[in-house]
Chains A and B, each alone.
Chain A
Amino acid sequence: MTAIDDRGYARPEVLVSTEWVADHLDDPAIRVIESNEDPLLYSSKHIPGAVEVDWTRDLNDQLRRDYLERDGFEKLMRRIGVTPDTTVVFYGDKNNWWATYAFWIFQLFGHARAKVMDGGRLKWEQEDRPMTTDLPRYGPTIYRAPERDDSTVRAFRDRVMAHLKAKGQLVDVRSPEEYSGERLHMPAYPNEGALRGGHIPGAANVPWARAVNPSDGTFKAAAELRAIYQKEQKLDPEREVIAYCRIGERSSHTWFVLTHLLGFPNVRNYDGSWTEWGNLVNVPIEK
């Protein structure tokens, strides 16, 4: 794969290579963070010195369907030994799907010193780089976070509805079967965990994983990404885009691609996504 700087990304500094991470394992200004879908993976082995941020326990409010508030984020940062000056580097399973989700949530609190390790856990393992079961311990830090800012990169359903009425750009990043509303083959489970299947009218369908090279989980070069999102799907970078999936995790990956790799200036993630839209009464749905 071409070096990150040669791939034509709008903000290449948000991606680091596995080699870069290997060279910074002992750098106190760097905190490597693993975020996975599979809850067993981190404990089975992880990059030496890496901490785990679990999307269910650490990033979500445990009562309401929402993310943690400022206090919770500050506690999390103290626990994993991060200060406002620490550069956090996310990686994880599933082509960094959950890593970009954590990255996105960190942006709600303005932690701009954040990067993603290109290729994630898959590439690190393919390269036989060191892994350990040792759990790192970092001293508690002082971290003062701002209040969570939901106004810039997050979309709630009212905004999505207004966006829809204004014929705004939407990207549904789920699989074609989910997009079309075809029922999954799971008895007793409604499609998507929602009462209705289909998609928000007018949404383009670009499954999130099209942005990565399946062989090693690295992101495709900017030209390839532009061919998908701009030429094939006709997304206009100058207009707002709202991405969604089922609960906002896969669409955070697409948000990352559009915002940081292609430089779209106004992209939001609708984390209510299909589990909200597909359960709402009297909203438009297309199949």
Chain B
Amino acid sequence: MAEYPPKLRRLLKRIGAIADRQERIQLLIDLSKRYRRVSEEIARPPYGDEHKVPACESQAYVFPVPNGDGSLAFHFAVDNPQGISAMAMAAVLGDTLSGVPLEQVAAVPTEIVYELFGKELSMGKNMGLMGMVGMVTGYARERLAEKT
């Protein structure tokens, strides 16, 4: 876990220490309540397909915004009001990876989905949530490539 950005590492450690499934679910629900839709100053619906997370049935979108220090801030939109897991994922990624050095963001594996949600997810749900991680790390890699 040492390679993860500090905020993400702390969150994963915290959630990994929760043995009770219901307690873990409650923490994820609490995280989902921190989700905020991307502001209209950054993106207005209908959002472009280039921002749409592939394989995500909750219709999640990711919007990277460059920071002055070269890092990215990540904003999200989840169009399915029942997409609680996608909202939790959006809150986690936005909170723990925004402003983080791009090399660290790019190195975050999609498997953090398992560490957050456990392995009792449908493949569809898995792929959607992993798609959100993949899209964020992909934006970081693109940005790194542009710099070199």
Residues of A within 8 A of B (CB): 37-41, 43-44, 54-57, 93-94, 121-122, 125, 184-187, 189, 193, 246-247, 249
- The B contact surface, by secondary structure, is helix
Taking a contact as CB atoms under 8 Å apart, the answer to whether A122 and B134 are in contact is: no
Taking a contact as CB atoms under 8 Å apart, the answer to whether B122 and A184 are in contact is: no
- Give the contacts of B44-62 with A (CB-CB under 8 A): 54-55, 57
Taking a contact as CB atoms under 8 Å apart, the answer to whether A43 and B25 are in contact is: yes
Listed A/B pairs (16) with beta-carbon separation below 8 Å: A37-B122, A37-B124, A38-B82, A38-B125, A39-B85, A40-B32, A40-B84, A41-B82, A44-B32, A56-B122, A94-B57, A184-B54, A184-B127, A187-B134, A189-B127, A246-B123
Q: Using a Cβ cutoff of 8 Å, how many contacts connect chains A and B? A: 59
B97-139 Cβ-contact flags toward A at 8 Å (1 or 0): 0000000000000000000010011111101001100100000
| A186-B32 contact given A37-B122, A39-B121, A93-B82, CB 8 Å threshold | no
Residues of B within 8 A of A (CB): 22, 25-26, 28-29, 32, 54-55, 57, 81-85, 88, 117, 120-125, 127, 130-131, 134
Taking a contact as CB atoms under 8 Å apart, the answer to whether B85 and A43 are in contact is: no
Report the bound CA distance from A37 to B128 in whole Å.
12
Taking a contact as CB atoms under 8 Å apart, the answer to whether B130 and A186 are in contact is: yes
| A40-B57 contact given A186-B131, A189-B127, A193-B123, CB 8 Å threshold | no
Taking a contact as CB atoms under 8 Å apart, the answer to whether A184 and B55 are in contact is: yes
Partner of A247, one of B81, B85, B121, B123: B123
Taking a contact as CB atoms under 8 Å apart, the answer to whether A43 and B123 are in contact is: no
Closest CB-CB distance, A243 to chain B, in whole Å? 18
Closest CB-CB distance, B81 to chain A, in whole Å? 7
Report the bound CA distance from A122 to B83 in whole Å.
11
Closest CB-CB distance, A134 to chain B, in whole Å? 13
